[in-house]
Amino acid sequence: MGWLSRFLVAVTFFAVGVLFSPETFGSQSVSHLSVYLKLAHILCFSTAFGAALWVTFIGGIIMFKNLPRHQFGNLQSKMFPAYFSLVGVCCAVSVAAFGYLHPWKSASTAEKYQLGFLLSSFAFNLTNLFVFTPMTIEMMKQRHKVEREENIGTEVGWSKNKEVAKINPKLAAMNKKFGMIHGLSSLANIMSFGSLAMHSWYLAGKMDL
C-alpha cells in the first residue's frame, strides 16, 4: 500500500469518526471549536509521544544492531531532522490548543504544570533540531572520513572503532567529542519524552472509560 493509499485510509476513518460523533447528531454540550482543539491536541500529542517512543527505544536500537555502522549513521542523519521537526510541530500545536483551552489566568495549578511540560518538550526538540543535530551530523561526517581511511565502518557495532581508536589519537579525540555531543542530544530527547510522558499521565486521569 502506497503513501497516498495509507493517507486516504486514515482520512476515511477520521471522517467516519466525525460522522458518528455526538456533535454531529446535534449535541450542543460542547462548542465545535473546543472539540476541534481537543482533537488537534490529542492527535498531535499522541503522534509526538508515539514517534518519540519508537525512535528512542525501538527503531534506533534495532537499526544500530543490524545495519553497518556508516549506513546506520547516514540513515540517522536523514531521519533525525525529520523526527525532531515532526515532534516539534506536534508539540507546538499541542501547546497552542492546550493553552487556548486552559487560559493561564483561569487555569488550575495542574493545568499550568501540564502546559509547562508541553513547552519543555517543544523547547528540547527545538534545541535538538537547531543545535545538537547539526553538530552531531557534522562530527559524524568527519569521523566517517577518518574511519574510511582506516578501512572500518562497514561492520555492525563499535568493536573495530574502539580497536583502531587505541592507536589513532585523532579518531579517539573524535570519538570523545562525538560522544559528548551525542550524549547531550540524547539527554534532550529523553527529557522531551519524559515531559510528554508526564502529560500522558494527566490525560489518562481525565479519561472517563
CA distance 47 to 88: 11
Q: Grid coordinates representing 199?
A: 502529560
Helix, coil or strand: residue 155: coil
Q: Which pLDDT score, from 0 to 100, does residue 49 have?
A: 98
Sequence-distant (≥ 6) Cβ neighbours of residue 202 within 8 angstroms = 110, 114, 117
Q: Which pLDDT score, from 0 to 100, does residue 14 have?
A: 61
Q: Which pLDDT score, from 0 to 100, does residue 172 have?
A: 94
Q: Which residues of the chain have pLDDT under 70?
A: 1-4, 6-11, 13-31, 209
Q: Grid coordinates representing 90?
A: 506536534
Q: Which pLDDT score, from 0 to 100, does residue 159 have?
A: 76
Q: Which pLDDT score, from 0 to 100, does residue 107 have?
A: 94
Q: Grid coordinates representing 53?
A: 517512543
Helix, coil or strand: residue 20: coil
Q: What are phi and psi of 29, to 5 degrees?
A: -70, -30
Q: Which pLDDT score, from 0 to 100, does residue 144 have?
A: 95
What region does 200 belong to: left with phi over 0, alpha with psi -120 to 50, or beta? alpha
Helix, coil or strand: residue 108: coil
